[in-house]
Amino acid sequence: MISRIKDYPSYKWWVFATIAIGTFLSVVDHGSVLIALPNIESHFETDLPTVQWIVVGYALAISVLILPMGRFGDIVGRKPVYIVGMVIFTVAAFFAGASPNLGFLIFFKVIQGVGSAMVQSSGIAMVISSFPGTERGKALGTHLSVVGAGAIAGPAIGGLLVSAFDWRAVFFANVPVGIVTILISMLILPLSKPDEPTERQRFDWGGAILSGLALLGFLLVVGNGDRLGWTSGLTLSGAIATTVAGIAFVRWELSCSAPMLDMRLFKRKVFGCGVAAGWFSFLGSSAARFMMPFYLQRVLELSPKEVGFLLIPPAMCMVMLGPISGRLSDKFGWRVLTVGGLSVSAIACFIMAFTLTDASPELLIVVMLMAQSAGTALFNSPNNSSILSAVDRSQYGVVSALTQLVRNSANVTSIAISTTVVVAVMGSKGVEPSLDAVNPNVADAFVTGLQYAFVMLGGLLLIGITFAVLRGERAKPSPATQQNPATAGKSEYESE
C-alpha cells in the first residue's frame, strides 16, 4: 500500500500532509502554552516574569539550533532528523506535563525546543524538495495556511484543555498526536540522500557553535534591553560579545571548506535582497500583533474572549491568502506580490499612526490588522520562494531554517524596539514607562506612543519594499533547463 502511494503523482501531497500535521502540532502547542501560563503561575506560586521562561527558553532553543539542524539534515538526510526531532518533542512534552516543579518544566520545554528545531528545519525542506521548482510557491503558500490555522486553533484548544482539565493537559495532549505523527512519518516520508560531493558533507561544528553564541547573545540583548536599559553595562557588554561572535562566525564561514551556511550566497542579489526584505517585513509588522491586544484589553477594556474573537479574522487572512499568493508567484513571479504585500502592510501602519485614538472603533482595528496579515501572506511565500530559487537542493535544509530564523529574530527585535518607543513616550508624558501600567487613565500617553511606533514600523516596511524592488524578478527558465535532469540539483540561479 505504502509503495503504491509513493508511486502516485499526488505523492507530494502525502508528504505535505504528513509534515503539515507536525507543523500544526508545533504551532498549536505554542498558542496553548501561552493560554496556560497564568494557571502555571498560580500552581507553582511564582510570578509572570519567571513563568515566561517556559516560552522564552523554548524559543531560544529553536533559534539557536535551527540553522545547525537544517544543515545536519542536509548532510545525513532530512527524514531521520525530522523523526528524531518529533520523538524528542513528544517525549519532552510528556515530561513537561509531569513536571513536579517549575525548574523541571522550563528544562523540558527547552528540550522540546531542540526537537522543534529539528522538525521545523527538516520539515519545510522535505516539502519543497517533493515539489518541482515551478510549484515551490504553491507548497510554501499552503504551508503558511497550516501555520495560520494552527495560530487560530492554538489558543482555543489551550483554553478548552485548561478549562476541562488543568494546565498539564496542554502538554499531555501532544503525546498521542506526536506518536501518530511519528508513525505516519516513518511510513510516508521519503529517504533523502545528500546531493553534495563527499568532501562537503562534513558538519561545521565551528560555525554551529559561533552562530549559536551570536544568536543567543542577540536574542537575550534585544529581548531584555528595554528592561535592563539599553545603555546599561550588562546590555552593552552583551552587545559587544554578540558582535564579536557574529564577526567570528562570518570569518569562519568564509574560510571553511564545508561551511554550515555559505556566506557567499549573500552576494547573489536574489538571495541577499530576499533575506533582507524578509527581515524588514517581520521587523515592521510583528510588533503590531503584540501591541494591539494591550490596546484592546487595557484601553478599550474588552475581555480576553472578545479580543480572541477579534483576532480571528486577521489570522484567517493568512490562512486563505497564503496558498493563493504562492500559486500566483509560481505563475507571475515575485516582485508584484512582495512589493504589493509590503505596501499593503505599510499603508495599514501609517493609517493606524494617524487615526488611532483612545476610543477608536473596534472595526478599524480589525480591518487594519486584517490588512497587515493580508500583506504578510501576499509577501511571505513568494519571498521565500525567491530565496530558495538561488540555492541548490542540497542546501534546502539550512536555507529553509534561515528563513525561519529571519522571522524569529525579526519578531523579537520588532517587539523590543516598539516597546522601547511606546514606554519612552509614556515616560515623557509623566506616566510610568511600562506596558504593565497601561490602563484607561493613561490611555492618551500609551496611544501617542503607539502612534510613534506605527510610524517607525511603516518606515521599516518601506525599507523592505526597497529590497524587494532591488532583488528584481526571476528569469524564465529555458525548456532545456526544465527538462534536463542534469540540472535538477542546481539552483534556478545557477541554471540560467
Structural domain boundaries of the chain?
6-190, 263-496
Cβ neighbours of residue 319 under 8 Å, at least 6 residues apart? 145, 148, 149, 152
Confidence of residue 455 (pLDDT cuts 50, 70, 90): very high
Among 36-50, 292-306, 452-466, 478-492, whose mean pLDDT is lowest?
478-492
pLDDT at residue number 286: 84
pLDDT exceeds cutoff 80 at 244:
yes
> Cell numbers of 250, please?
562570518
What are the CA-CA distances from residue 413 to residues 5, 54, 328, 457 (Å)?
44, 19, 30, 12
Torsion region of 333: left, alpha or beta (phi above 0 gives left; psi -120 to 50 gives alpha)? left
pLDDT exceeds cutoff 90 at 8:
no
pLDDT > 90 fraction of the chain, expressed in percent and rounded: 25
Cβ neighbours of residue 489 under 8 Å, at least 6 residues apart? 195, 392, 393, 394
> Cell numbers of 273, please?
535582497
Equal CATH topology for 6-190 and 263-496: yes
pLDDT at residue number 172: 92
pLDDT at residue number 115: 93
H or E stretch at 260: none
> Cell numbers of 294, please?
494591550
CA-based nearest residue to 405, from 67, 110, 57: 67
pLDDT at residue number 467: 94
pLDDT at residue number 146: 85
pLDDT at residue number 140: 84
Q: What CATH architecture does domain 6-190 belong to?
A: Up-down Bundle (1.20)
Confidence of residue 345 (pLDDT cuts 50, 70, 90): very high
pLDDT > 70 fraction of the chain, expressed in percent and rounded: 91
> Cell numbers of 432, please?
510610568
Q: Which sign does the torsion angle of CA 191, 194, 195, 198 carry? A: negative
pLDDT exceeds cutoff 70 at 197:
no
**Angstrom distance (rounded) from CA 402 to CA 399:** 5
What are the CA-CA distances from residue 412 to residues 151, 287, 446 (Å)?
18, 9, 21
pLDDT at residue number 237: 92
What value does the mean pLDDT of the chain take?
Answer: 84
Among 277-281, 394-398, 477-481, whose mean pLDDT is lowest?
477-481
**Angstrom distance (rounded) from CA 271 to CA 263:** 11
**Residue 203 contacts residue 75 (beta carbons within 8 Å):** yes
Mean pLDDT, to the nearest integer, of 78-106?
92
> Cell numbers of 341, please?
504585500
Q: Exposure pattern of 170-199 as b/e (b: 16+ CB <10 Å)?
A: bbebbeebbeebbebbeebbbebeebeeee
335 vs 2, higher pLDDT? 335
* CATH superfamily membership of 263-496: MFS general substrate transporter like domains (1.20.1250.20)
Among 14-23, 110-119, 300-309, 367-376, whose mean pLDDT is lowest?
300-309
193 vs 437, higher pLDDT? 437
**Angstrom distance (rounded) from CA 50 to CA 72:** 33
Torsion region of 229: left, alpha or beta (phi above 0 gives left; psi -120 to 50 gives alpha)? left
**How much is the CA Rg of the chain, to the nearest whole Å?**
22
Q: Determine how many CB atoms are found less than 10 A away from the CB of residue 87.
A: 18
pLDDT at residue number 494: 44
**Residue 122 contacts residue 82 (beta carbons within 8 Å):** yes
**Angstrom distance (rounded) from CA 115 to CA 118:** 5
pLDDT at residue number 482: 42
pLDDT at residue number 459: 95
In order, the DSSP letters of 149-178 are HHHHHHHHHHHHHHHHS-THHHHHTHHHHH
**Angstrom distance (rounded) from CA 495 to CA 487:** 7
113 vs 412, higher pLDDT? 113
pLDDT at residue number 480: 39
Which residue is listed with cell 519571498? 383
pTM recorded for the entire structure: 0.82
Among 47-56, 171-180, 340-349, 358-367, whose mean pLDDT is lowest?
47-56
Cβ neighbours of residue 432 under 8 Å, at least 6 residues apart? 426, 442
Q: Which sign does the torsion angle of CA 443, 448, 451, 453 carry? A: negative
pLDDT exceeds cutoff 50 at 42:
yes
